[in-house]
Chain A
Amino acid sequence: MKKPILLLLVLGAVCAYQPSHAQLLKKIKDKVNKTVNSSTTTTTTDSNTTDAGTATDASGKPVNKGGGGLKNTPPPDVNQQMTDAEQAHAAANYSDARYSIQQALIGVEIQLGRELLKSLPDPVLGLPKDTTQDKVMSTQWGWNNMTIQRVYTDKKDKQLTVTIGNNALYSGLVNVYFNNAYMVQADDKDQNMKQTKVKGNKAIIQYDDSKGYTLMVPLGQSSLIVWECINFADETEVMNTANAFDIEGIKKMLGEQ
C-alpha cells in the first residue's frame, strides 16, 4: 500500500517539476535575451541622445554616420609655381604672378613645417609622438605665416601639445605680459602665471586646473613655442619636457634670431 502511494507521490512530483522546469528555462531564456538586447541598444544609443534604432537628431535631420572624408591634396609644386610666376610677370599678368608666388610660399612653408616636425624629439620624457595629429598650417598674413603642431600622448590621460610658429591665441598674452611691467598675477597662495626661463630664453608658465600647464617661449620677433601639458605631475616635469627640445635649432629653422 505504501509503495504505490510513494510511487504516485514521486510521479506527481516529477510531473509538477516539468512545468516549473520549463518555466525556469523560459526565465533563463528571457534573461539572456534581455541582456543581449540591452547591450546592442547601448552601442547604437551612445552616440546620439534619441531612442535606440532611430538615426535622426532632435530636428528630424538624419545624423551622419560616416563618409569617405577628404583626400589630402599634395602641397603646391614650388619649382613649377616659381616658373609660372616668372612667366606671368613677363607677360604683365601681375595678378596671376602674385597668386603663383603665394602658392610657392605655401609649398615652401609646408616643407619647412615637415622638416621642423622631423627634427622634434621622440619620445619626450617617455611620451611617444602621435603622428596622426601632426599639423602644418599656413596662413597668408604676417612675417611668419606658418604654424606647426605635434602631439605626444600615452593614449591614456597624459598629453603634450607643442605648437610652433605664429600663434594668435597666445601671442597677444605674451606681448602684453613682457611689455607691461605692471601685469604680474599672484594670489596670496599660488601664482597661476609666472615668468621663467627655458634654456636661457624668457618664458611664461601658466597653470589652470581645467587646462593643466601652458608654457610659452617667444622666439625672436614673431614666433612662439607653446607647450600645453595635460596631466603633468608638476612644474619641474613641464620644464624638463621643454628642455628636451632644441630651441636654438628651431629658431634657426624659422629664421628667427
Chain B
Amino acid sequence: MKKIIIAIFFISFACSVFAQGDFKTQMATAKTSYAAGKLEEAHFALQQAMQELDIIIGKEVLKLLPQKLDSLTVNTKDDHVTANAGFIGATIHRSYGAMGKASVEIINNSPLIGTLNTFLNSALLGGMMRDENTKVVKVQGYKARLEKQGENENGKFNYSLQIPFNSALMTVTVNGTTENEILAMANTIPLQNIAKLIQ
C-alpha cells in the first residue's frame, strides 16, 4: 500500500513538473532561437509559453472558485481549462449541481470583451438594447449584464450573468432559478481575486 502511495505521489509530482517544465522548455527554446537570430521560431516558442501560462493561470483560478454555489456542489470531473485556438488565452470551465444546472465559464483574452464593455459603458446603447429580458446589474462593484434566457421544463427561468473584466469575460449560467438566486450565487465568487489573476 505504501509503495502504491509513493508511486502515485511521484507520478503526480512528475506530471505537475512536466506541466511547469513545458513552460520552462518553451522559454528555453525561445531564448536559444532568439540568440541564434531565428526570430520566427522564437516567436512561436513565446506563443507556446504564453499558452502554457494561460493554462497554469486557469488552474489557479479554478482553485479560487467556490466548491458550492448555494446548495449546488461542484462537479470536479467536469473542471477543465482549455487553451483557445489562435493563442488567444484560455477558457476555464466549472459546473455545479446536476448536469446542465449551473456553470461558471471564464474566457481569458476574448475579443468579444470589447463589444460587451461598449454595451455596458454606453448609456445610449445600453438603453436601446435593454428589454424585459436583459438588464445591467452590479456584482461586488463590477458592472454585469443579466439576461433571462427562456424557461426550463419546470417553468422556472434560465439566467446568464456576464461580467467583463479588463480582458476576460466571466459567464455564470444557472438554469431554473430566480434573479435573486443567481445574483446571490455570483456574490459568493471572489471576483476581485480572480480579476487579479486573469488580468
Contact = CB atoms under 8 A, between A and B. Distances in A.
Given A104-B46, A115-B39, A255-B44, A98 B111 contact: no
A89 B23 contact: yes
Interface in B153-199: 196-199
A255 B43 contact: yes
Which of the four size classes fits the interface of chain B? 20 to 34
Interface in A67-96: 78-79, 82, 85-86, 89, 94-95
B79 interface: no
Contacts, number: 67
Nearest to B87: A143
Interface string A221-257: 0000000000000000000000000000000011100
Nearest to B110: A141
Which of the four size classes fits the interface of chain A? 20 to 34
B102 interface: no
Contacts of A97: 53
A105 B47 contact: yes
Contact of A108 (B23, B34, B196): B34
B39 A108 contact: yes
A111 interface: yes
B34 A82 contact: yes
Contacts of B49: 85, 101
B30 interface: yes
Contacts of B43: 105, 108-109, 112, 255
Contacts of B39: 108, 111-112, 115
Contacts of A101: 46, 49-50, 53
Nearest to B58: A94
Contacts of B109: 140
Interface string A149-161: 0000000000000
Interface in B5-40: 23-24, 27, 30-31, 34, 39-40
B30 A104 contact: yes
A79 B34 contact: yes
Contacts of A143: 86-87
A79 B30 CA distance: 10
A102 B50 contact: yes
A142 interface: yes
Given A104-B46, A109-B43, A253-B40, A78 B34 contact: yes
Nearest to A81: B46
Interface in A128-176: 140-143
Contact of A82 (B27, B54, B198, B199): B27
B57 interface: yes
Nearest to B56: A94
Contacts of A112: 39-40, 43
Contacts of A108: 34, 39, 42-43, 46
A171 to B, nearest CB: 13
Interface string B39-75: 1101110110110011011001000000000000000
Nearest to A85: B27
A193 to B, nearest CB: 28
B24 A86 contact: yes
B88 interface: yes
A111 B41 CA distance: 13
Given A86-B24, A98-B53, A105-B47, 9 more contacts: A79-B31, A89-B23, A89-B53, A94-B53, A95-B196, A105-B50, A140-B109, A141-B111, A255-B40
10 contacts: A79-B31, A82-B30, A86-B24, A89-B53, A94-B197, A95-B199, A98-B50, A112-B39, A141-B88, A141-B111
